[in-house]
Amino acid sequence: MRRRRLLFQGLAFWLLAAAFPVVYLGIAPPGSDPLMWGGLALLFSGAGLALATY
């Protein structure tokens, strides 16, 4: 159980780290909306944190 929690915490951390430049610097794949990519990264990182603390 602890191993799975660490996995989800690590996943959430990296998704949050990926969401930061997308949201605040506007870095996204060409021709796409940075807020959409940042929002998706924040959504998945929140899900990862929720699973890690469950």
Q: Mean pLDDT in runs of 10 for the chain (54 residues)?
A: 78 75 68 76 74 68
Mention every residue, 6+ apart, whose C-beta is less than 8 A from residue 27.
21, 34
**Token pair recorded at residue 48:** 């990862």
Write down the pLDDT at residue 54: 65
Question: Closest Cα partner for 47 from 17, 19, 18, 9?
Answer: 9
Write down the pLDDT at residue 23: 64
Write down the pLDDT at residue 42: 75
Write down the pLDDT at residue 30: 76
Write down the pLDDT at residue 26: 66
Q: Decide: residue 38, CB within 10 A, 0-12 exposed, 13-18 middle, 19+ buried.
A: buried
